[in-house]
Amino acid sequence: MPRRKTNHPIEHVVIIVKENHGFDNYFGTFPGANGATLPRSSNPPHQDPNHRHDAWLTRKTTAVREQFVEQDIPAYFAYARQFTLCDNYFTDVAGPSTPNHIMLITADSPIIVNPPRYRLPVGEPLFDLPSQPAALEKAGFTWGNYGGYAFDFIKALQGKRKFASAQFKQDAAAGKLPSVSWVYAPHDASEHPPDPNDAGNPLVGNVTHGMQWTVDQVNAVVQGGLWPKTAIFITWDDWGGWLDHVDPPNVEQWKHDPTHPDRDGNHPQWNGTQFRYGSRVGCLVLSPYAKSGYLSKVLHSHVSLLKFCETLFGLPHLNA
C-alpha cells in the first residue's frame, strides 16, 4: 500500500522507548526543571530496583533515592537544552514495563503486571485491543516495530511489521522510514539496570552506553535526510523503582477481575489501588519544529504520543 502524505511538514514520527528511569533519576538536576537532587548512582547501578506495582505503592519509603547527572548522560541534557524536555510527563501504569509498553501501542492496558513470559509471549493469551498501528494501516499510513516485544500480545499485530532493533538505523540512514516507528534498544543498550543474569556483560545498565545508542539512532535520521520532516520522541517505559518527588494524579483505579487473575498476578488486594498515572519519566522532543530550550509543564503521558500521531495523521481516537 503506498504511504499517504500528511498536510503537515512532519511526515515521520519516531518513538524511542528506553527502560526504567524516572524523571528525578535522570533529569532531577536539569536547570529549571521540577526536579530534586539525590545522591549520585553508580553507573551502571548495582542492581535492578523493584519496580512492580506493590513496590510502587510503598515507593515513598522503599524506592531507591539515587540519580544520574549530566556527566553520565550528557547528550540527553544537550537535547533538553536544544529542544524540548517535558517535566510533567507520566507513565500510564503505576507498575512495570509491559503494561506501559502496551499503553504506548493501544492507549490501554488490560494488565498491571508483567506476564510470567513477558519477553517470550509464545502461548500467552492475546489481547483483542484496538491499536494505533492498525489505525495507521487502515488510514493508508505505514508503521514499524523495531525491537519491541509487546506488539506480540496484541491479536491483530502479532508478528507484523517486526524488525530487529538494528534495522532502524539502517532504514533511517537510507531515508526509508515508515510514518510511525516504535524503536527499542537491544538489552545492553536499553538502560535497564542489570539483573543477576547480566553479570557477565558490563554494558548492561550503563546509562552512558545506552544514551550513545539513542544518539546513533537520532544521527541516522539526520544522515538519511529525514530530519526536516521528522518528530522524534525519547521516553522511558516505567519508573524503574527510583524515587520521584512528584506524586502522579490518580485518575483511574485498578479493578481486580477474578475471572482473569493473571492480569494482576492474582493480587485481589490491589483492587482499588492507583492504576493511572504512574510516576514521572522524562520525555525529550526533538524536531526542527520543537521549541528550543523549552521545558513543557503541561501534563502529558505515554498516550500523549499516540494523541500526537492521531492529530498529525487524522486517525480515530483510541480508547475514547
Query: In degrees rounded to 5, what are phi and psi of residue 84?
Result: -125, 135
- Strands 12-18 and 283-286 come out as unpaired
Query: In degrees rounded to 5, what are phi and psi of residue 285?
Result: -115, 115
- Predicted confidence at residue 28, as pLDDT, reads 99
Count of the separate structural domains present in the chain: 1
Indicate which CATH number applies to the domain containing 20. 3.40.720
- Strands 230-236 and 283-286 come out as antiparallel
Residue 79 lies in a domain: yes
Q: Which helix (H) or strand (E) holds 162?
A: strand 162-163
Residue among 24, 25, 59 nearest 44 (CA): 25
Residue 318 lies in a domain: no
- Predicted confidence at residue 76, as pLDDT, reads 99
| Residue 135 structural domain | 12-212+225-313
Cβ proximity of 146 and 183 under 8 Å: yes
Residue 277 lies in a domain: yes
pLDDT tens sequence across 53-87: 999 999 999 999 999 999 999 999 999 999 999 99
| Mean pLDDT of the region 43-61 | 97
Cβ proximity of 15 and 21 under 8 Å: no
pLDDT tens sequence across 136-189: 999 999 999 999 999 999 999 988 999 999 999 999 999 999 999 999 999 999
Residue 218 lies in a domain: no
Using the predicted structure, report yes or no on whether residue 205 has a pLDDT greater than 90: yes
| Mean pLDDT of the region 211-225 | 99
Residue with the larger pLDDT of the pair 158 and 236: 236
Residue 125 lies in a domain: yes
Residue among 216, 203, 231, 251 nearest 291 (CA): 231
pLDDT tens sequence across 116-146: 765 555 566 689 999 999 999 999 999 999 9
Residue 96 lies in a domain: yes
- What span, in angstroms and rounded, lies between the C-alpha atoms of 101 and 96? 9
User: Strand, helix or coil at 145?
Assistant: strand
pLDDT tens sequence across 20-40: 999 999 999 999 999 999 999
Residue 110 lies in a domain: yes
Residue 320 lies in a domain: no
Looking at every residue in the chain, the average pLDDT score rounds to: 95
Residue among 173, 259, 277 nearest 221 (CA): 173
Which of the four pLDDT bands, split at 50, 70 and 90, describes residue 2? Answer: very low
Using the predicted structure, report yes or no on whether residue 1 has a pLDDT greater than 50: no
> In DSSP terms, which residues pair with 84 in a beta bridge?
285, 294
DSSP-H helix ranges across 8-52: 23-27
DSSP 99: H
